[in-house]
């Protein structure tokens, strides 16, 4: 019987969303105002958007 192929899974890179400054831990991304803490907004060229609820904030000129 042939071996099963492993599914390619994206690695969890949540550590990229935080920055350590001395003894404090700061978030590098904004959190979604609708979903609350723990749900970050994605940074795009001209907007911020939430991947969970779809909330979007457009950047002004």
For the residues 47-52, what does the mean pLDDT come to?
Answer: 93
Asked if 15 and 27 touch (Cβ cutoff 8 Å), the reply is no
d(CA 17, CA 28): 5
pTM exceeds cut of 0.75: no
Q: Give tens-digit pLDDT for 7-44.
A: 787 777 888 888 999 999 998 889 999 999 888 899 99
**Residue 6 confidence (pLDDT):** 75
Asked if 57 and 41 touch (Cβ cutoff 8 Å), the reply is yes
Q: Of residues 58 and 7, which shows the higher confidence score?
A: 58
Q: Which sequence spans correspond to the domains of the chain?
A: 31-61
> Would you state the structure tokens that stand for residue 10, as one six-digit string?
């994206």
- For 20, the enclosing helix (H) or strand (E) is strand 18-21
């Amino acid at each position: 019987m042939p071996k099963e192929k492993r599914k390619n899974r994206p690695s969890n890179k949540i550590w990229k969303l935080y920055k350590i400054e001395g003894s404090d831990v700061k978030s590098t991304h904004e959190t979604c105002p609708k979903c609350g803490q723990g749900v970050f907004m994605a940074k795009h060229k001209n907007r911020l958007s939430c991947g969970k609820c779809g909330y979007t904030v457009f950047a002004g000129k």
